[in-house]
Amino acid sequence: MRIQRSIAGLAVLLAATLTATAAGPVSAAPSEAPAASGATAAGPGTDYAHDDPFTSERTDWWRQDRFGMFIHFGAYSNWEGEYPRADGTVCRDAEWIQRSCKIPTDAYEKKAATFDPADFDAKAVVKTAKDAGMKYIVITSKHHEGYAMWPTKVNSWNLRDHSSFDKNRDILAELKKAADDAGIKLGFYYSIWDWHDPDFPDPATFPKYEKRMYAQLKELVDSYDPALLWFDGEWDTEDPHNPWTARDGERLEAYLHDLDPDLVVNNRVGKRRVVDGDYGTPEQTIPDAPVDGQLWESCMTLNGHWGYARYDQNWKSPGSLVRNLLATSSRSGNYLLNVGPDSRGGIPRQSVDRLKQMGDWLRADGQGEAVYGARYGGLVDEPAWGSVSRKGDVLYAAVTDWPAAGQPLHLKARTDFKIAHARVLGSDQEVTVTRSGDGYDLTPSGGPTNDIATVVRLTVDTGPETPTSTGHGLKQEIFDNATLSGDPKITRVDPTVNHAWKYAGSPDPSIPADTFSVRWSGHLTAPRTENYTLTTVSDDTARVWIDGKLVVDASDPHGPRVDKGTVRLTAGTRHAIRIDYTENTGEAHMKLLWSSPDQEQEIVPARRLTAD
Ligand code: FHN
């Protein structure tokens, strides 16, 4: 629930109300796209990094839930994937049908006027999600076609004003209530790219579109209190031209967090980069390892289309879907799996059945423990016979290729740890654990419990952790030049190296947004003796030394980029750390994260850093 509305947000609301009253319903948008984050306009001293998405309370529900339902539903659904051309041929596509089939605007609008999703049943949709074991839902509020699926006041191109649907219904409100009643988080997909708004393509008129977009997003946040906004349509493209820039994304993201500081936002709010939003959005693919520098969520279709396409019967099997889910959670990712309701608003039976079988697997024998709140296995390499996720002192080895009788499952260890106990979820068979070469052999005494994935639960002991030290951060020296030269203008303690100054911001109001540099120094203590990966997310340059040894060298000027290096840290030792950072012009970013086989990726916390 939103905590507060900033002064900037209230100012926008007032401007929008006055505009709507005076000029009628055409555009209740603010006179200017609101200033960025905070009650005052963005500028020197602004830092957009409010927390660490890897550990913050704000993103905790998202990192625990792991599995969500994507819903692609819009005026395009009314075509059900097929456009009968005048010459008798049929052009096929789903949510892109208008553009793919070059449907004239008047014909498209005429068809939308017949759209009547009377069978849309929010409770049934939420039940389908729950039966699948899904914990959050993201529904398209507006796709590239520009058609709003809620009664927006910004224009009349929407389900309330331009359809044959019951004008007393609001499907987003119905879904919000059903989701709330079921304990499911609700988020909205919103396409920046808009094929319908005449002001979109021309950079000269784009600000008019942008104001309407801001007003619609404010409607969504104010009316439905979404937990998440899933932006799309941010890429450079033509037909129509898309003028969206990273700077536009900077301002929009700040505005949204002014509206609701708790919102979770994906990286397509900007330009789909590691520095945009809270998480990355690989599509129709699953990264083969945890993603450096950013949370991530893989979105995927159940067949070959996002929107409903009556002809597409290329459905994925329940087994492959469960294995995809296990692969994502074992690499600290989320899985957003899509359904496309038909023209009446019903979810295809083939989708419902597959999702139910996924939920049946998750509920059986507590197998969902390998997914919900689980993360990268870390302690071991991912095996060829399945995936390994971790939650606390438990590893969940999900076996998709069960060994022949008497043959072992081998796990290659990445660090020192012990396996205290092993058991097969859903079976009382013995599992013998033996040290073997570079790791452990697990030898089951029986067969698999199912034909999708059998989970072996391993209780592990990673040994003592040095007590959480009482650090408060590193010494920070800020220079009003880009060469770390002369005396620092400002010297202070910086709790963490977690900064997104972007285009408009800088480390202090007295420091201009360009041409500055920062040096951090002090000591770092590690919880365990391991090989740690230090990861920087930086723009323009960054270098990191540990005990005088250069570990990360990102000294070549660059745009937002991830760099990393590995260093052996000894538990209890105060390791000297120094970071040199420079900003010339443009965007400015500097984050320092760490990870190890035992430590999941996070911004290096203040308690592990001292300024002396
Ligand atoms: O063009 C869209 C597409 O229709 C669909 O919405 C996917 C889902 O993430 N996103 C875009 C393609 O990347």
Is residue 4 domain-resident? no
Q: 90 and 224 share a domain? A: yes
Query: In the chain, pLDDT over 90 holds for what percent of residues?
Result: 91
| Contact between residue 284 and residue 317 where contact means Cβ atoms under 8 Å apart | no
Q: 381 and 352 share a domain? A: no
| Contact between residue 249 and residue 234 where contact means Cβ atoms under 8 Å apart | yes
Of the ranges 14-18, 81-85, 256-260, 474-478, which one carries the lowest mean pLDDT score? Answer: 14-18
What is the tally of structural domains in the chain? 3
**Closest by alpha carbon to 267, among 306, 293, 300, 305?**
293
| Contact between residue 58 and residue 127 where contact means Cβ atoms under 8 Å apart | no
Tokens of 275: 């520095």
pLDDT of residue 428: 97
Residue of 79, 138, 232, 281 to mutate, ligand 1, most atoms within 8 A of C-beta: 232
Is residue 516 domain-resident? yes
Give the residue-averaged pLDDT of 94-122: 98
Q: Which residues of 86-99 are buried (b: 16+ CB within 10 A; e: fewer)?
A: eeeeeebbbbbbbb
Q: 66 and 180 share a domain? A: yes
User: Is the pLDDT reported for residue 489 higher than 70?
Assistant: yes
- 228 CA distance to ligand 1 centroid (A)? 17
Tokens of 493: 């303690």
Is residue 42 domain-resident? no
Q: Which atom of ligand 1 is nearest to the CA of 72?
A: 6
Q: Report whether residue 254 contacts ligand 1, using a CB cutoff of 6 Å.
A: no
The region, left, alpha or beta by phi > 0 then psi within -120 to 50, assigned to residue 272 is left
pLDDT band at residue 225 under the 50/70/90 scheme: very high
Residue 95 and residue 72: Cα distance in Å, rounded? 8
Phi/psi at 495 (5° precision): -55, -45
Q: What is the pLDDT of residues 522-563, one digit of tens each?
A: 999 999 999 999 999 999 999 999 999 999 999 999 999 999
Is residue 12 domain-resident? no
**Closest by alpha carbon to 256, among 227, 294, 281, 298?**
227
Tokens of 459: 């209780």
Closest C-alpha to ligand 1, atom 7: 306
Give the residue-averaged pLDDT of 102-127: 98
Closest C-alpha to ligand 1, atom 10: 232
- 195 CA distance to ligand 1 centroid (A)? 14
CATH number at residue 551: 3.90.182.10
pLDDT of residue 584: 98
- 232 CA distance to ligand 1 centroid (A)? 7
> Which residue, of 370, 391, 425, is where some domain finishes?
370
pLDDT band at residue 477 under the 50/70/90 scheme: very high
Residue 572 and residue 210: Cα distance in Å, rounded? 53
Q: Report whether residue 299 contacts ligand 1, using a CB cutoff of 6 Å.
A: yes
Residue 271 and residue 268: Cα distance in Å, rounded? 6
| Contact between residue 375 and residue 389 where contact means Cβ atoms under 8 Å apart | yes
Residue 240 preceded by cis peptide, ω within 30: yes
pLDDT of residue 27: 36
**DSSP conformational letter for 291:** P
Residue 48 and residue 57: Cα distance in Å, rounded? 17
Q: 331 and 395 share a domain? A: no
Q: Report whether residue 283 contacts ligand 1, using a CB cutoff of 6 Å.
A: yes
pLDDT of residue 160: 98
Closest C-alpha to ligand 1, atom 4: 95
User: Is the pLDDT reported for residue 35 higher than 50?
Assistant: no
Helix (H/G/I), strand (E/B), else coil: 188: strand
Give the residue-averaged pLDDT of 111-116: 98
pLDDT of residue 10: 44
Give the residue-averaged pLDDT of 347-376: 98
Q: Which helix (H) or strand (E) holds 499?
A: strand 498-500
Helix residue ranges per DSSP H, 84-203: 97-100, 105-112, 122-132, 171-182
> Which residue, of 314, 341, 370, is where some domain finishes?
370
Q: Which atom of ligand 1 is nearest to the CA of 140?
A: 6
pLDDT of residue 444: 97
Q: Name 24's Cβ contacts closer than 8 Å, sequence gap at least 6.
A: none
Q: 238 and 300 share a domain? A: yes
Is residue 467 domain-resident? no
Helix (H/G/I), strand (E/B), else coil: 158: strand
User: Is the pLDDT reported for residue 36 higher than 80?
Assistant: no
Give the residue-averaged pLDDT of 242-264: 97
Give the residue-averaged pLDDT of 415-442: 97
Residue 292 and residue 3: Cα distance in Å, rounded? 31
- 171 CA distance to ligand 1 centroid (A)? 21
Please name the amino acid found at residue 129: A
- 243 CA distance to ligand 1 centroid (A)? 18
pLDDT band at residue 470 under the 50/70/90 scheme: confident
Q: What is the pLDDT of residues 285-326, one digit of tens each?
A: 999 999 999 999 999 999 999 999 999 999 999 999 999 999
The region, left, alpha or beta by phi > 0 then psi within -120 to 50, assigned to residue 102 is left
CATH number at residue 326: 3.20.20.80
pLDDT band at residue 466 under the 50/70/90 scheme: confident
Residue of 97, 138, 306, 308 to mutate, ligand 1, most atoms within 8 A of C-beta: 306
Is residue 97 domain-resident? yes
Query: Strand 575-583 relative to strand 295-301: parallel, antiparallel, unpaired?
Result: unpaired
CATH number at residue 446: 2.60.40.1180
Closest C-alpha to ligand 1, atom 6: 306
Total number of residues shown for the chain: 612
Q: 89 and 229 share a domain? A: yes
Q: 454 and 520 share a domain? A: no
- 272 CA distance to ligand 1 centroid (A)? 13
Q: 401 and 479 share a domain? A: no
Q: What is the pLDDT of residues 147-175, one digit of tens each?
A: 999 999 999 999 999 999 999 999 999 99
Is residue 142 domain-resident? yes
Residue 294 and residue 564: Cα distance in Å, rounded? 13
| Contact between residue 415 and residue 530 where contact means Cβ atoms under 8 Å apart | yes
Q: 437 and 348 share a domain? A: no
Residue 212 and residue 99: Cα distance in Å, rounded? 22
Q: Report whether residue 297 contacts ligand 1, using a CB cutoff of 6 Å.
A: no
**Closest by alpha carbon to 497, among 468, 457, 537?**
537
CA terminus-to-terminus distance, the chain:
40
pLDDT band at residue 605 under the 50/70/90 scheme: very high
Q: 364 and 381 share a domain? A: no
pLDDT of residue 64: 98
User: Is the pLDDT reported for residue 91 higher than 80?
Assistant: yes
Is residue 310 domain-resident? yes
Residue 101 and residue 80: Cα distance in Å, rounded? 13
pLDDT of residue 484: 98
Give the residue-averaged pLDDT of 370-397: 98
> Which residue, of 416, 440, 461, is where some domain finishes?
461
- 317 CA distance to ligand 1 centroid (A)? 22
The region, left, alpha or beta by phi > 0 then psi within -120 to 50, assigned to residue 264 is beta
Query: Strand 333-339 relative to strand 67-71: parallel, antiparallel, unpaired?
Result: parallel
Q: 525 and 593 share a domain? A: yes
User: Is the pLDDT reported for residue 38 higher than 60?
Assistant: no
**Closest by alpha carbon to 456, among 495, 477, 427?**
427
Q: 148 and 193 share a domain? A: yes
pLDDT of residue 572: 87
Query: Strand 333-339 relative to strand 295-301: parallel, antiparallel, unpaired?
Result: parallel
Helices (runs of H) and strands (runs of E) counted in the chain: 10, 30
Q: Which atom of ligand 1 is nearest to the CA of 306?
A: 5
**Closest by alpha carbon to 152, among 232, 215, 229?**
215
* CA within 13 Å, CB half, 220: 29
Residue 537 and residue 17: Cα distance in Å, rounded? 40
Tell me what the pLDDT averaged over the chain comes to: 93
Give the residue-averaged pLDDT of 260-281: 98
Q: Containing domain of residue 306, as a range?
A: 60-370
CA distances from 9 to 37, 149, 192, 206 (A): 10, 24, 20, 21
Q: What is the pLDDT of residues 323-352, one digit of tens each?
A: 999 999 999 999 999 999 999 999 999 999
- 177 CA distance to ligand 1 centroid (A)? 26
